[in-house]
Chains A and B, each alone.
Chain A
Amino acid sequence: MVIASIIFLFGALLPQFLKSEKNIRLSSVWIAVLGGLAVFNLSFPVLFFAEPAWSDSWWMIDSFSALMASLIAFVYMASMFVSYRYIGYEYRENILNVSQVKTYFSLISLFALSMLAVVFFNNTILVWLALESTTLFSTFLVGLYKKRTSVEAAWKYIILCSTGITLGFAGVLLANYAGHLLGDESNFSSMTFLTDNAGSLDPNILRWAFVFIFVGFGTKIGLVPMHTWLPDAHSKAPSPISALFSGVLLNVALYVVIRFKHIVDGSLGQPDWTNRFFLIFGLMSIVLPALAMLIQNNYKRALAYSSIEHMGLISLAVALSPLGLVAAFIHMIGHTFTKSALFFGAGEFLLKWKTTKIEKVKGAMKYAPYSSALFLLGVLAIIAVPPSVLFASEFILFSRMFFAHWPLAVFVLVMLSLVAFAMLRLSLMLVFGSEDGKKMKVEKWNITHTVMAVELAFVFSAPFFLTSPAGLAFVESLVKTVSY
């Protein structure tokens, strides 16, 4: 754990001491690979049950946090590879200068480190601290281009998320207070202590705590109506950052809320009370983006709204816990891979056409055949066309949901088909947009395409493992760590 943190901190420091932009990029990628492997080394043994979960008063690894850490490390490495090309390209086009490149690579590794800290910390207040620092470190990544729009997006992002997370802190403190009342002076703020003693915590205090935590950290998850920062920040940040945001940051915030849900459920003795929150906010988070996506003409914004919608779906799945949690976990994994691939693809379009408006991207299929094809594949995966992982998870979700609330299930299905229609329409317009006769260079296969291809290959092959009996058993054992 210490080694991994040192690698990430080194990765944050090194760019400040290098002169040439090429060296900064190269060294950052290598350090990122090193850091990612160090994290894998920590998380894989626990994730695949080679080693037992362990915790002390500061750190904690169980299979859930190991899963999150692996996702973070993977998307981090992937987006570093893409950054290598993306940032280099923008530097050559004089969009960025050396000091901005330095800032970018320093902050991105601090950002990844603080996300990892969220999942590995055991002390709940430190978890809060780490979550708050993800916001602080990523603000300047959103506002990297000193343009009006990106600074505005960064401002909205930091103000909304800071306020939300600060309110969430009230909830964390209340939960700690409930632990404090049990009389343990030293451990009361540790996650494992609260989880183990959930049954004897005061349920009234925990109810208040959960309201604050849900609304506060829900801002960071991007649940409607606290989502307003999300489309702006995702569309204005550089594409590798958008991929990190959408792929892991939202999940990390969700991870914290699910952990606390587990504690509160234990205290209340049943999961229904907390499920209601997830159900209502999840539904809202599906309906609003479904409508918003119909009127989008900006492909990065559309992807951002799709992220809100998927967070809504995951929340719905969590709301059907204990059983729905299986769907939620599979969906989380699938969404991480698919959405990051899509943002990488969107970055390619942005680099080539310098616009995020769909109608201004002309002749994508002709001049950027690989990006277009992979993007289309990604869109098919995200709207859950089988055999995508998301199909598997949504299938499980709806099979549960028809049991629990069938009218709702029908309604959500209608909304999802709206989303699917909007996504397909937008991406077809993007890829097969009319040409205006201006000649451009036809793109070559590059590192971004490799990354996307790897991710999509996983997305389309994983369901064969995850839906097999062994795979389901694997997921269920993950779910056990946080299900009541």
Chain B
Amino acid sequence: MQISNLLIQFLFIVAAAPFAAGLVRFIKARFQGRKGASPFLAYVSLATLFKKEMVFPKASSWVFRVVPFVVLASSLCFAFLVPTIFHSGNLIFTSDFLVVAGVLMFGSIFLVLGGLDSGSAFGGMGASREMTIAALLEPTMIMVFAAFGLLSHSFTIDGMMVSGLISANPFLILSIVALVLLALGENARYPVDNPATHLELTMVHEAMILEYSGPFLAMLEYASAIKLTVFSFLICNFIFPGTLLDPAVGISGIAAGIILGIIKVIAVMALLALLESVIVKMRFYRINEFVSISFFVAFFGMAAAVLAKSMDFISNYYTFFVALTILFTVLIFGNLRTRPVLRYYIFSSLSIAGIAASLGFSEIQDAAHLFFFAAVTILVKVFGVPFLIKGMLKKYDKTNQAKTFLRPASSYLLAAIILVVAFFVTIRIPLVGGIAWVSILFASIALILMGTMKMVIMRNICSQIIGLLVLENGLALFTLVTVKTLPVVVELGIFAVTLISVFVLSKLSTHIRELYGSTDTEELRNLID
């Protein structure tokens, strides 16, 4: 029973893979306003390719002919090892993460060899790029699985998933994010590679398989579709480990598993298509930034896992969001350009909503109120306020760089000093005994201080507005910590005042720009005596 179910899962992946690849193309086309080919077209084109004749480059050797078989075999093996619909039961040892990584690496090495062996310039170029990326992504993969492995005491991917860590360990969200970035890189999707073009300047994966034709090309494309599908299941199952079924179920269980599988494929492919529609491909020389971001995210996930393991450090979701809030506020503090600052403001407000929501999950009383607070925060501070400020920025886009009295490096130093000061203030003030969530109190004090300080050190009108908003965010946290419940009318009033004040400020700053032609507050010096 168990073996047969595992075979069914394998067959499902193999059958669904072309559909998944077709689905991404289809949804992307819809996002771009085109009708798009049917997602089932992929099966037809694979079948057509299998019927076609093959052409081999003169320079190629036997390696060129072996490559498609090895690559397809590695993908199939990958599909077999990773638990997608069922967890492996007593075959759990098979999905050791080093084995899985090795299998994947085996496939990519042969792909690279195939690219080299074709003897064309493009193949070599693609191979060199692929190798660079693969080598850079390897540490991320190790870090991600090491974090999971450390907490679950298991080296197998199965074991990591089954122990359902994510709900208890919020910092593993970082590892998941790293895993998503890794999957994008491994599967040659945006922003690392563009699967849809054959442009010599940018292509990586397509350059390597450029010389293949007929059945061999079909095998290589099939292999990459399988890999994409398995990765999507991998991510889904890490986030929702509950959806993995026991392999010893009957017919109804199999049906449920397959339906769940289809839902997962559709959801992940839709998200991937959305992502690919909103971001652009990076220049090749910027890919190291992408990879280092993924590595550092994975690294922080790992570090948090080690801390949590050794001293019970971060064990609540709200603490995690508090850390995020502070992180984004520090980024606001040091950044000079208005648009990134606005983006970080949105993120920090989202984190505040996250704090409220996670408190709502953990506290039974007042839960409805906390969810309400989170919802209104998102509405006002993620959509309303940024909308108004963007409207203000639209008219004058030249003056994006804010003038300041401190360079970014020293601002970050100042932010660090503020954090230390906030820490001592937090432990000194007499409230701590009564307040349950000291970390939120710390964040609110830090935010109040940073907001005030931002207004002092920046000379730009926008930065002063942002400073005021950060200050206001700090007070929102302070409200959560001190009184928790306010009457709904009062709370809505506070949010309304925030919106109105941003409106007034942005309108006024438009006047200032019209009259002064700049947003430097040092220009506002007419009234001194």
Interface residues of A (CB under 8 A from B): 123, 125-126, 129, 132-133, 136, 139-140, 143, 146-149, 151-156, 158-159, 162-163, 166-167, 169-170, 173-174, 176-177, 180-181, 185, 188-189, 202, 204-205, 208, 231-232, 235-236, 295-296, 298, 301
The B interface, classified by DSSP as helix, strand, loop or mixed, is helix
What is the minimal beta-carbon distance from B221 to any residue of chain A, in angstroms? Answer: 59
Q: Which of B478, B485, B494, B508 contacts A158 (CB 8 A)?
A: B508
Give 5 A-B contacts (CB < 8 Å), ordered by A residue.
A132-B501, A154-B508, A166-B475, A177-B482, A295-B529
Q: What's the nearest-Cβ distance from chain A to residue B368, in Å?
A: 15
Give the contact stretch, choosing among B72-80, B393-401, B509-517: B509-517
Mark contacts of B10-42 with chain A using CB atoms, 8 A cut-off: 1 yes-contact digit, 0 otherwise: 000000000000000000000000000000000
Complex interface: chain A residues within 8 A of B526 (CB): 148-149, 152
Partner of A152, one of B429, B464, B471, B524: B524
Q: Is B468 in contact with A188, judged by CB distance below 8 angstroms?
A: no
Q: Contact between A129 and B483 (Cβ–Cβ < 8 Å)?
A: no
**Chain A CB within 8 A of B504 CB:** yes
A136 touches B475 (CB 8 A): no
Smallest beta-carbon distance A163→chain B, Å: 6
**Min CB–CB distance B399 → chain A (angstroms):** 16
Given the contacts A149-B526, A166-B475, A205-B430, A129 and B468 also touching, CB distance less than 8 Å: no
Determine whether the beta carbon of A163 is less than 8 Å from that of B493. no
User: Cα distance A236–B516 when bound, in Å?
Assistant: 17
**In contact, A159 and B482 (Cβ under 8 angstroms):** no
Within the assembled complex, what's the spacing in Å between the Cα atoms of A298 and B527? 11
Q: Is B420 an interface residue (CB 8 A)?
A: no
Cβ–Cβ contact B504 & A140, under 8 A: yes
Residues of A with C-beta under 8 A to B484: 180
Contact A129 B512 (CB under 8 A): no
Instruction: Tell me the residues in window 435-465 of chain B with beta carbons closer than 8 Å to chain A beta carbons.
Output: 448, 452, 455, 461, 464
Interface residue B134 (Cβ < 8 Å from any Cβ of A)? no
B47 vs chain A, min Cβ distance (A)? 67
Whether B471 and A163, one on each chain, are in contact in the complex, defined by CB atoms closer than 8 angstroms, is yes
Q: Which of A129, A151, A173 contacts B482 (CB 8 A)?
A: A173
B468 and A162 within 8 A (CB): yes
A176 touches B524 (CB 8 A): no
Secondary structure of the A side of the interface? helix
The reply to whether the CB of B392 lies closer than 8 angstroms to some CB of chain A is: no
Contact A170 B490, beta carbon cutoff 8 Å: no
Across the two chains, which residue of chain B brings its CB closest to A142? B508
Known interface pairs A136-B497, A148-B515, A176-B483; A181-B508 also in contact (CB < 8 Å): no
Q: How many residues of B contact A (CB 8 A)?
A: 42
Chain A hits for B482, CB < 8 A: 173-174, 176-177, 180
Query: Is B406 an interface position by the 8 A CB rule?
Result: no
Across the interface, name the chain B residue whose C-beta is closest to A147: B515
- C-alpha gap A173/B529 in the complex (Å): 37
Kindly report which residue of chain A lies nearest to residue B490, judged by CB atoms: A125
Chain A residues in 8 Å Cβ range of B431: 174, 177, 205, 208
- Provide the bound-state CA to CA distance between A150 and B511, in Å: 10
- Could you say which of B479, B507, B527 has the most chain A C-beta atoms within 10 Å of its C-beta? B527
Pair B475/A170 contact, Cβ less than 8 Å: yes
Does B494 lie within 8 Å of A129, measured CB to CB?
A: yes
Is B184 at the interface (CB under 8 A from chain A)?
no
Chain B residues in 8 Å Cβ range of A202:
430
Contact (A136, B504) CB under 8 Å given A153-B527, A163-B468, A177-B431: yes
Cα A301 to Cα B497 with chains together (Å): 30
Most buried by A among B434, B468, B497, B521: B497
Chain B residues near A298 (CB-CB < 8 A): 529
| Nearest-CB residue, chain B, relative to A148 | B515
A159 — which chain B residues lie within 8 A by C-beta?
Answer: 455, 464, 468
Question: What is the bound-complex CA distance between A352 and B430, given in angstroms?
Answer: 59
Whether A125 pairs with B524 at a CB distance below 8 angstroms is no
B452 in contact with A163 (CB, 8 Å): yes
Chain A residues near B494 (CB-CB < 8 A): 125, 129
Residues of B within 8 A of A204 (CB): 430
- Can you name the residue of chain B whose Cβ is closest to the Cβ of A146? B511
> Are A170 and B524 in contact (CB-based, < 8 A)?
no
* A126 in contact with B493 given A156-B524, A170-B478 (CB within 8 Å): yes
Q: Is the CB of B500 within 8 A of A133?
A: yes
B508 adjacent to A125 (CB under 8 Å): no
Task: Report B-chain residues with C-beta under 8 Å of the C-beta of A231.
Answer: 527
User: How far, in whole Å, are A358 and B526 apart by their CA atoms in the complex?
Assistant: 18
The 9 closest A-B pairs by CB, nearest first: A177-B482, A204-B430, A152-B524, A232-B527, A151-B511, A173-B482, A176-B483, A148-B515, A129-B493
Chain B residues within an 8 Å CB radius of A158 = 501, 504-505, 508
Q: Could you tell me if B455 and A163 are in contact, using CB atoms closer than 8 angstroms?
A: yes
Chain A contacts of B507 at CB under 8 A? Answer: 140
CB distance from A243 to the nearest CB of B (A): 20
Is B452 a contact partner of A170 (Cβ separation < 8 A)?
no
Check if B486 is an interface residue, CB within 8 A of chain A.
Answer: yes
Q: Are B468 and A166 in contact (CB under 8 A)?
A: yes
Residue-wise, chain B 224-235 has the 8 Å CB interface mask toward A (1 for contact) of: 000000000000
B521's nearest neighbour on chain A, judged by CB, is A155
Residue of A at shortest CB range from B480? A173
CA distance A170 to B472 in the complex (A): 10
Distance (whole angstroms) from the CB of B422 to the closest CB of chain A: 13
**Contacting pair B500 A136 (CB below 8 A):** yes
Question: Judging by beta carbons under 8 Å apart, are A139 and B508 in contact?
Answer: yes
Does B468 contact A181, Cβ atoms closer than 8 Å? no
B430 touches A151 (CB 8 A): no
Cβ contact within 8 Å between A173 and B483:
yes
Q: Which one of A147, A170, A180, A232 has the highest number of Cβ atoms from chain B below 10 Å of its Cβ?
A: A170
Q: 9 extra interchain contacts, Cβ-Cβ under 8 A, other than A205-B430, A208-B430?
A: A123-B490, A126-B490, A136-B497, A147-B515, A155-B521, A158-B508, A177-B482, A208-B429, A295-B529
Contacts of B511 in A (CB 8 A): 143, 146, 151
**Minimum CB–CB distance for B25 against chain A, Å:** 51
Q: Which residues of A contact B521 (CB under 8 A)?
A: 155
A266 CA / B198 CA spacing, docked (Å)? 79
> Which residues of the partner chain B approach A174 to less than 8 Å between Cβ atoms?
431, 482
**Cβ B505 vs Cβ A173 within 8 A:** no
Shortest CB-to-CB span from A146 to chain B, Å, is: 6
CB-defined contacts of A152 to chain B, threshold 8 Å: 512, 524, 526-527
Which of A162, A181, A188 has a CB less than 8 Å from the CB of B434?
A181
- Chain B residues whose C-beta falls within 8 Å of the C-beta of A236 in the assembled complex: 527
Q: Please, how many angstroms separate the alpha-carbon atoms of A139 and B506 in the complex?
A: 12
* Interchain nearest-CB distance for A203 vs B (Å): 10
Residue with the greatest number of chain A CB neighbours at <10 A, chosen from B483, B494, B529: B483
Tell me if A162 and B501 are in contact (CB < 8 A).
yes
**Of B429, B475, B485, B493, which one neighbours A169 at CB under 8 angstroms?**
B475
Kindly list chain B residues whose C-beta atoms are within 8 Å of the C-beta of A189.
Answer: 483, 486, 490
With A and B bound together, what is the CA distance between A208 and B485 in angstroms?
21
In the complex, what's the smallest C-beta–C-beta distance from A194 to chain B, in angstroms? 12
On chain B, the residues within 8 Å of A153 by CB distance are: 527
Q: A154-B508, A181-B434, A208-B429 are in contact. Are A173 and B527 (CB under 8 A)?
A: no
In the complex, the answer to whether A136 meets B468 with C-beta atoms within 8 Å is no
Question: In the complex, A475 Cα to B511 Cα: how many Å?
Answer: 46
